[in-house]
Amino acid sequence: MTSVTKSPVTAPTEADVEHEINLALREIADQLLQINQDFTTLIPPIRREGENVYLINMAIPVNYFNLRSVVDDVLKKHRIRPDYRISLLNCETNEVSLGFLARATDIDKEVPCQSREQQNDCYNLRLALIDSNEPIAGDPPAQPMKRLQWLFLGLAISFPVLWMFWKRETPVDQPANTDDGWLGMTAQTRFHPANQTLQVGEDTLDLTFREAKLLQFFYDHQNQVLERERILESVWEDEGVIVGRSLDVFVSRLRKKLKADEAVQITNVHGVGYKLLLG
């Protein structure tokens, strides 16, 4: 009998990682171009400016309030560490016009200056990937002993409270696992607006702030034809600039996350807007 030796799984090389980052950055540029309804402009080669710092010479107006959700989704898809710094550089002056720092631990996915009126200028995009374990300029220095002391103090304070809840019997008419805040859409799907969480079957999906706000608006007006202008004004009311293409991008994302449940349909009403149908 001939034995078969399985090849060991090798760790990705530095070249593999660099190739994956290049693909991710090109996909980011592609999505930003599509938001501008640009399906023909060629994406130039990605330029590496330093260790984990990359420049995309797009030379286009960038939809700033969609930027974080686009970058987060693409980096997650390519399994690239999620902490990063974005800078939008003016094409003519090469000065930083807008930018933000994004951490994976951020609860609020909004970015600075997002609600201000944005100039329709030409931008290039610089992205710096940051190791989650490395301190960032402006962060307070780490104080391990002090943090440990606070940890023990927190445990000492919380233990009696946790013990009290553990000992107390759960009432018969009140299940231990309550569904406060959940909205039942169908037998398979439910939605928690406050937690920005969507459950479809056995899958739990995270929503961005804007995705959750859009789904909440659809849910509150289910089975109704909603005009595009009404949706934009209600969901993007806090933005200085409203871009109609943004609505189509976010509807497409919600459809992908809901596709496993055929009883939930976001239909396009030609020339008018959209309708959420719950079967």
pLDDT band at 109 (very low <50, low <70, confident <90, very high): low
pLDDT band at 80 (very low <50, low <70, confident <90, very high): confident
pLDDT tens-digit profile of 5-33? Answer: 555 556 667 788 888 888 888 898 888 88
Q: What are phi and psi of 77, to 5 degrees?
A: -60, -40
**Of the candidates 225, 258, 205, 271, the residue with the CA atom closest to the CA atom of residue 73:** 205
Residue 116: strand pairing partners = none
Degrees, nearest 5: CA angle 61-67-89? 50
Predicted pLDDT of residue 168: 45
Q: In what order do the strands lie in the sheet with 47-50?
A: 47-50, 53-60, 123-129, 84-90, 96-102
pTM above 0.85?
A: no
Please determine, for residue 234, whether its predicted confidence score (pLDDT) is greater than 50: yes
pLDDT tens-digit profile of 154-177? Answer: 666 665 555 555 444 333 333 333
Predicted pLDDT of residue 107: 59
Read off the pLDDT of each residue in 117-145 and give the average, rounded to a whole number: 63
Predicted pLDDT of residue 199: 94
Q: Which domains does the chain have, with CATH numbers?
A: 14-129 (no CATH), 183-278 (1.10.10.10)
Predicted pLDDT of residue 181: 87
Please determine, for residue 139, whether its predicted confidence score (pLDDT) is greater than 50: no
Please determine, for residue 200, whether its predicted confidence score (pLDDT) is greater than 90: yes
Q: How high is the mean pLDDT of the chain?
A: 76
Read off the pLDDT of each residue in 82-91 and give the average, rounded to a whole number: 82
Predicted pLDDT of residue 132: 59
Where residue 200 falls (left for φ over 0; alpha for ψ -120 to 50; beta otherwise) is beta
